Structure formats: C-alpha cells, structure tokens
Homo-oligomer: A and B are copies of this chain.
C-alpha cells in the first residue's frame, strides 16, 4: 500500500511532516519520503489528509458496551454494586461477543488501532479481535473476592487463554493477566498471581488507586497505599499497566518513576464517576510514561479516543491553573508512543520499521478549517467524524469512513437485540 502526498504527524518530535509518501509492505512501514519511486496496486491519495499514529486505548472493558447509558448519575458504589454487577451477572458469552464487536466498531470509527481490554470470556474477545483486524492486548480479569468462578478456574482460564491466543492473528493478539484490583483479592491470591504473570506474558494490567476510598481501605487493612502494597509483594517487578492512579501520591510517584510502571489516565470515567483529578502533569514531569484510556462504555459512555485526548489536555490545564500545562503534543504521546512502550509493541509512531497502524484524518472538514496548527487541531478541535481511514497491521479496516472488516448495521441490530433480551432475563 502506498499513501501519497500526505501530511504526517511525527509524534516523538512534535512536528508535522509535509507532503510525504508512506510505503507499507506487509504489516510494516517500509519507507517514508518525498516522491517515492514505488509502484503498488493500492494507492491512497493523501493530499487532503493527515496521517497520525493510530491511537492506543490503554484501558477498557469492551464487553460492557451493552450497558452504555444503562446506569448514570449514580454514586460509584451504588452504580457498581446495585446496577452494574447484577446486570453483568446476566451476560452470556454471546452477549460479550456482540458487545465487544460493538465496541470495536466504535474504536475503528474513532481511529483506534490497539486496545487493552480487561474482562472475562476473553476467548470470545480474541475471536472478535481476529475478525475485526484490531490489535488486542487481552487481559483476563482475576480476583478471589469477586464471586465465581473460583480462583483456580480463573487461573486455568488464564493459562488456556495464553496458550491458545498469545501471538495469534499475525501477532496482533497479546495475552497477559488482569488482576482486577487489590481490593478484590486476598494477599495470597495476588502473590500467586505473580507466578501466573511470569508464566503468561510477563506483564500485568490492574486497577490501582482509582478512588479515595480504595486508598483509605488499603491504609486501614494493609497499612500501605495500594501502590506501596503492590510494590511490597513484588508485584511491580514486571511491566505494570496501572489503570487510573487517580490518587497516586508524590511519594508513590517517586517509588514508581524508575520502574516499568505505566499509569493509564481515564479522564472521562474519573470525572463522571467523581473519582477525582489525576496528577497527570506531576507524573509526566517525573518522566513517567502516562498512557490514555477510555475505560468501559458503562462509565464513559463511549470509546472515543479523539474526545479523550481533548478532555485529557483541557482538564489538566485547569487543575494546574496553567494554560500551558499538558500540551496537545503531550497528550498525543500518551495516546501513542507511551502506550506502545507500555505494551511492548512496535507501533505508536509513523516511522520506517514500525508496524503500519495509521489513522488518516480528513483535513477538508470544518474542525480542521482553517489549517492552522494541526497538532492543536488534533487535540482541541478534531472530532471522531474527521477520522477517514484506519490501517492496522498494514491492512485497511476503514476507508473513506466505510468499515471493511465489520458490518456496522448488523452489529448495531444484534447489540440491540442482545440488550432487549438481557433486560427480559
């Protein structure tokens, strides 16, 4: 595939490359340059487009899209315990499969190539990942205080998932454990999880310090903050994708800054559930590679990374009382190169030798008119509607806003039918 005459975001250096050609061979960016003398069957005219490293949504729960707009304007505890958990208990593997596909349509239409999912029935999520063409970091939710299935079954499930799917779909699928949180596990279970992590993927995805209550409970029960506790049992010795970290302290920032510790900021979910304001600037200032996520559709209530980038930047300016804080380019890094490093994947930038995961924005749109600073535009004015084309692993998943791997109409229809049926149960 050859993309001709396009503007491209060099996210690492915060620059826009003008009028380049991008040659994609197999699943890699083989060559970038001006007027490349290459012939290819598939030519994309990039003259009114902007190529951006396709986004990486570092924390989500895809199967929950069926619960979008199902329970809002509730306090977190009531929302989770009275509303979400009872209905989640009714979800079948088929519901999770269709909910996952619905989420995948959303992600493709808003320019996301890669997601990190924490849920259950993850073999069905792997199946949907293969079908959609997306790149999936699949993490099975684990915990021994969460009701059935038993800890042993969860571990067995995890091992099978790893054996059956890690590296599958041309390497698009990575599997590693997703212990839910420290408050849904005993100390013993969390310690046992470390050996599963070493066995399966050597990387971990966990919710950490999302709410004040979680921190208070940890201080009361474990005499340590959640992050200190994880460190004390050796949990942070492997790369850790730590969802939220809303209440990370200055001391904890110093504790994790030289580790392979990747906090995932989920601004919309943290604001909507009143979890708090995450100290993003403080973490970035210490060199921590903060990533960006949407969380699930039941607490966001969409998976739109374009919107998440926008909110991530503006909220932190107000928090810091500084309009220059957490600049557009810093948030774009959170949604691309920082996350690629967190997951150990060779993507996140438009550069020779990198995986061809590229989003093309339509510059002939209201939001990009006039074409002043395009990095500003991506963060402050762009809409998911401006996402024209998505390439993942060298393949087109959407072109001119038409989905090529998934049937949007059919998925919308089936998702509605699934929810209608769940509400009858």
A residues adjacent to B (C-beta < 8 A)? 65-70, 72-76, 79, 102, 105-106, 109, 268, 270-277, 297, 300-302, 304, 307, 310-311, 313-315, 317-318, 320-325, 327-328, 364-367, 369-374, 376-377, 379-381, 383-385, 408-409, 412, 415-416, 418-420
Q: List 17 A-B contacts (CB under 8 A).
A: A69-B372, A69-B373, A69-B374, A72-B379, A72-B380, A73-B328, A74-B324, A271-B315, A272-B323, A274-B321, A274-B325, A275-B318, A276-B318, A301-B380, A302-B383, A307-B310, A371-B419
Name the one of B66, B271, B364 contacting A412, with C-beta atoms under 8 angstroms: B364
Cβ of A323 and Cβ of B75 under 8 Å apart?
yes
The chain B residue with its CB closest to the CB of A418 is B370
Complex CA–CA separation, A325 to B75 (angstroms): 9
Contacts of A73 in B (CB 8 A): 323-324, 327-328, 376
Name the one of B72, B105, B381 contacting A301, with C-beta atoms under 8 angstroms: B381
Complex CA–CA separation, A318 to B319 (angstroms): 11
* Secondary structure call for the A interface: helix
Cβ of A323 and Cβ of B76 under 8 Å apart?
yes
Contacts of A322 in B (CB 8 A): 75, 274
Cβ of B75 and Cβ of A383 under 8 Å apart?
no
Cβ of A274 and Cβ of B366 under 8 Å apart?
no
Complex CA–CA separation, A51 to B321 (angstroms): 39
Complex CA–CA separation, A370 to B385 (angstroms): 20
The 8 A-B pairs at the shortest CB distance, nearest first, are namely A370-B419, A69-B376, A301-B381, A271-B314, A301-B380, A69-B372, A274-B323, A385-B385
Cβ of B302 and Cβ of A367 under 8 Å apart?
yes
